[in-house]
Amino acid sequence: MKTVTITMRLYGAFRKYQDSLTLSVPAGSPVAAIKEALGKALGPQAKDLVMDSVIADDRAILPPGFVIDRDSSLSVLPPVCGG
């Protein structure tokens, strides 16, 4: 099975873990699977934050079903609040 390398840039609340990390996932994985892999890489304490966050490329926020079929650089964007 072919794998792809995903370089994840981490922002906001994720910076306490690190600035970036690299994941290897099967080619054709949807964004939802990449979020699952990210949650496993960061550990159980990050699971809820990962699930509440979105994944984006350099142009847009990617929907959960968007398929990644090549090496990519993505960002995980945590929820923000303001007032």
Q: What pLDDT, in 10s, does the model give residues 5-41?
A: 999 999 999 999 999 999 999 999 999 999 999 999 9
In angstroms, rounded to a whole number, what is the distance separating the alpha carbons of residues 20 and 47?
A: 17
- Beta-bridge partner residues of 80: none
DSSP 8-state class, residue 35: H
- The pTM score is 0.91
Residue 65, pLDDT score? 97
CB atoms within 10 A of CB 57: 14
Cβ(57)–Cβ(72) below 8 Å: yes
**Which domains are delineated in the chain?**
3-77 (3.10.20.30)
Does pLDDT of 82 surpass 60?
Answer: no
